[in-house]
Amino acid sequence: MIRISQIRLRCGEGKSRNGEDPRPFLAAAKARRLLRLKDDAKAEFRILRHGVDARKKPELYDVYTLGVRTGLSEEEEMRLVSRLHNKDIQFFREEEWVFPGHLPDAQVLSERPVIAGFGPAGIFAALALAENGYRPIILERGRAMEDRIRDVDRFWESGELDEKSNIQFGEGGAGTFSDGKLNTGVKDRAGRTKKVLQSFVESGAPEDILYEFHPHIGTDLLRKIIVNLRNRILSLGGEIRFETKLTGLITENGSVVGVRTKGPEGIGEIPAKVVILACGHSARDTIRSLYAQKIPMQRKDFAIGMRVSHPQAMIDAGQYGVSDPEEMKRLRLSPASYKLTYKASSGRGVYSFCMCPGGYIINASSEKGRLAVNGMSDHARDSKRANSAIVVTIGEKETGGDVLSGLLLQEKMEEECHRLAEGNIPVECFSDFEDKSLRMTETKEDLCIRGRFSFAPLHELFSEDLHRDLAEALRYFDRILPGFDSEKAFAAGLESRTSSPVRILRGEDLSSEIRGLYPCGEGAGYAGGITSAAIDGLKVAEAVGKKYIPDIG
C-alpha cells in the first residue's frame, strides 16, 4: 500500500452529495494528482488518519492521511514512490495482530483460565483467549449492562448507591460511563491497537474510530458495543459470572491452583492454573486481599484533583476561533477538546485528564460514605458544557512509602468530600475556589451534572500546597484558552480515580512471581485508558498463549 500524508483541505470545502461528506472524495482526488494517476486508472483509497489543523486560526484545515492500493505489484508501487521524491508519499505494509504460536516448552492447560474483571483489559484478554480455544471463565463483581444502567440511573436520581453495581463496577468497567476516548500513547508495532479498534467496529462502533486523530465512542454507544463483545465471547465458549467477586487466590508451591469467589450462590472455589487479574483501579478490597496474601506489589504515583467545567462554546472559540453553532456545522467541526500541562512552582505536574467535550460531570462513587466524580459524554457530545479533570501528581512525598498509602489517601479525601456536601457532589465557582471564599457563588446555567450536587467550599478538600498548585495551573491555562479561570468556570470534586495507586508486579513474561498469575490493565498499574487497557489485555493473552496449549473439554 502507498501512504500519502498531509493532504490538506480548507475546513468547509466542498458541497455534500446526497448527504455524503465530500471530504473523502476531495482528498482522494488530491491523492490521485500527487501520484500522477490518470483519471481512469483504478485505485482504492482508504482514510488512515484525519485531524484538524487549527494552528493558524481562523484558517482551519482538515488534514488526511490516505492509504492507496493501485493494483500494481509491491515492486512497482515502491518504484512509483521512489520516482515521486515526496517525503509525504511512502510505501508501507500494515501490521496485523496475530495470536502467537506456543513456545517449545509450552504446557498443556487442562483447566479453563480465570479472568477477574470485565472492563477493557478483561474483555480483550477474554476475547483473544476465546478466539483461540481457551474458553475462559470471567468473574465480574458487578452486574450485566442492562441491570447496571438501571442501577446507575437510580443512583443519580435518588442518591441510593449500590456498591455492587455502579460507575466503577459492572460489565464494561469504569470506561463504559465515560467519553469513550480511544486515543493512546502506547507504542504499538504488533497491530494490537488496530485489533482493538476493529473489534469495536465489528461490534457496532462507527468506522471513523479507525482513523480519527482523537477517536471516541461515547457512553450511549459503548453500552451496546460492550454487550455485543460479551455475546461474541460467549459464542466462542467463554463464560461470564456476574455479581461474582474474586476474594482470594489458592496457591501451592509458588503457583496458582485456583481462586476463591463470592457470588449469588455463596462462597466457592474454581480450580485454575492461569488467573488474569484485570479487576480495575477501584477494587480496593481485592487489592487489600491480594496484599494480605503477599502478592508482590508496590506503591505507585497517581493524581488527585477536581473536574473543571466550562461552556463548550468557550472551548470551541479558544481552539478554533469559532463558537457559533451554525458556523461550526458549516465547517464540519466537532466540539473542541484540549490537553493541558503545567509544572507548578512547587515542581509538581498539573495536567488535564479525560477531557469530555459536550459532556457531563458524573457522580462516580462506588463506596458508601465516599464520593468521587468523573466525566462522561455521549457520542454526539452535544451538551452545552465541556469538562475535564485538572489533577496534580501525588507521589511518595504526599503519601509516604507504604504500599497502600496512596489508596488510604484516596479513601480519606473521598470521605471528606462526601461530608462536605452531605453526600452530594460539591461544586464551587473557580473564583471562590481560588480565593478560598465562602461566597458560594451559584449560577442558573445548567452545569450538566449527573447526580445530586450542592454548592460547597470544595477548596477545603485540598492541602495548602495542592490548592496553590491547582489554582496556579488554572491561571496559567487561561493564557492558552482565554476564559479558563473566568466566572464561567466551575469546579466539582473529587477526581481521585485517575489511576491505580498500586502496581501489582510482573516480570518480562507478564507473570507475577506467583506462577500462572497475570496482573493486567489499569487496576494492576499497567494502563491508563480504554485502549491501553485493552492492549494490555491482548498482551497478557499472548503471554498465556505462548506458555500454555489449550486442551479444554
Average pLDDT, integer, range 2-28: 92
Decide if 345 is inside a domain. yes
Cβ-in-10-Å burial (0-12, 13-18, 19+) of 173 comes to: buried
Confidence band for 93, pLDDT divided at 50, 70 and 90: confident
pLDDT exceeds cutoff 80 at 198: yes
Longest dimension (CA), the chain: 72
Average pLDDT, the chain: 95
411-429 mean pLDDT: 97
Q: What is the DSSP letter of 50?
A: E
Whether residues 146 and 264 fall in one domain: yes
Residue 551, pLDDT above cutoff 90: no
What cell numbers appear for 425 in the block? 457532589
Grid cell listed for 122: 478483561
Rounded Cα distance between 297 and 214, Å, is 33
- Helix boundaries (H) for 299-448: 312-320, 325-330, 396-399, 405-420, 430-435
DSSP letters spanning 54-103: EEETTEEEEEEEEEEE-SS-HHHHHHHHHHH--TTEEE-------PPPPP
Q: Tell me the pLDDT tens digit for each residue of 130-178.
A: 999 999 999 999 999 999 999 999 999 999 999 999 999 999 999 999 9
Work out the average pLDDT over 94-113: 93
pLDDT value of residue 535: 97
Q: Is residue 198 part of a domain?
A: yes
Same domain for 186 and 164, yes or no, is yes
- Residue 388 is assigned to a structural domain of this protein: yes
Split into its structural domains, the chain has a count of 3
Whether 102 is covered by a domain: the verdict is no
> Which H or E run includes 232?
helix 219-235
The residues, any chain, with a CB within 8 Å of residue 10's CB and separated by 6 or more, are: 59, 60, 61, 62
The answer to whether 310 touches 484, Cβ cutoff 8 Å, is yes
Which amino acid type is present at position 353? Answer: F
Contact 314, 490 (CB under 8 A): no
- Helix/strand/coil for 359: coil
Closest alpha carbon to 167 in 357, 306, 363:
363
Domain-located, residue 376:
yes
Q: Is the same domain home to 117 and 169?
A: yes
User: pLDDT band at 187, cuts 50/70/90?
Assistant: confident
Distance CA 440, CA 417 (A): 16
Cα separations in angstroms, 481 against 163, 194, 256, 308, 361: 39, 33, 52, 13, 20
Contacts of 107 (CB under 8 A, 6+ apart): 547, 548, 549
CATH number of domain containing 28: 3.30.70.2700
Q: Does 99 map to a domain?
A: no
Pairing assessment for the beta strands 425-429 and 453-455 based on DSSP bridges = parallel
Phi-psi region of 133 (alpha: psi -120 to 50; beta: other; left: phi over 0): left
Instruction: Supply the DSSP symbol for 543.
Output: H
Residue 18 falls inside a structural domain: yes
pTM attached to this predicted model: 0.95
pLDDT at 541: 98
Range of the domain at 150: 107-299+500-550
User: Which residues, 6+ apart, have CB-to-CB distance to 184 below 8 Å?
Assistant: 193, 529, 531, 532, 535
Residue 479 has pLDDT above 70, yes or no: yes
Please give the share of the chain, as a percent, with pLDDT higher than 90: 92
Q: What is the pLDDT of residue 40?
A: 81
Pick the closest to residue 477 from 317, 356, 345, 339 (CA basis): 339
Model pLDDT for residues 338-376, shown as the tens digit of each residue? 999 999 999 999 999 999 999 999 999 999 999 999 999
CA dihedral 6, 7, 12, 17 (to 10 degrees): -150
| Mean pLDDT, range 326-332, rounded to an integer | 95
C-alpha cell of residue 112: 479453563
Classify burial at 501, counting beta carbons within 10 Å of its beta carbon; exposed 0-12, middle 13-18, buried 19 or more: buried
Q: What is the pLDDT of residue 75?
A: 93
Based on the domain organization, do 219 and 317 belong to the same domain? no
Q: Which of 35-39, 77-81, 452-456 has the highest mean pLDDT?
A: 452-456
Position 553 scores a pLDDT of 63
Q: Are residues 429 and 292 in the same domain?
A: no
Say what the pLDDT of residue 39 is.
79
Same-domain check for residues 312 and 344:
yes
Distance (Å, whole) CA 231 – CA 246: 22
Rounded average pLDDT over 283-292: 96
Let me know: does 58 contact 322? Beta carbons within 8 Å.
yes
Q: How confident is the model at residue 483, as a pLDDT?
A: 95
- Cα separation, 24 vs 12, in Å, equals 13
Looking up residue 213, the CATH number of its domain turns out to be: 3.50.50.60
Residue 513: CB atoms within 10 A of its CB come to 12
Cα–Cα distance between 165 and 118 in angstroms, integer?
13
205 and 172 housed in the same domain: yes
Report which of 460, 529, 418, 493 is spatially closest to residue 161, judged by C-alpha positions. 418
Confidence at residue 19, expressed as pLDDT on a 0 to 100 scale: 80
Last residue of a domain, one of 91, 125, 157: 91
The answer to whether 433 touches 492, Cβ cutoff 8 Å, is no
If you search the block for the grid coordinates 507548578, which residue do you land on? Answer: 344
Residue 478 burial (CB count, 10 A): 16
Domain co-membership, 488 together with 347: yes
CA-to-CA distance for 527 and 486, rounded, in angstroms? 34
Same domain, 317 and 431: yes
Residue 445 forms beta bridges with which residues? none
Q: Of all helices (H) and strands (E), which one includes residue 13?
A: none
Closest CA to 1 of 105, 119, 96, 102: 96
Q: Is the domain of 379 the same as that of 312?
A: yes
Q: Same domain, yes or no, for 20 and 113?
A: no
Whether residue 344 is found in the same domain as residue 434:
yes
**32 in a domain, yes or no?**
yes
Residue 220: strand, helix, or coil: helix
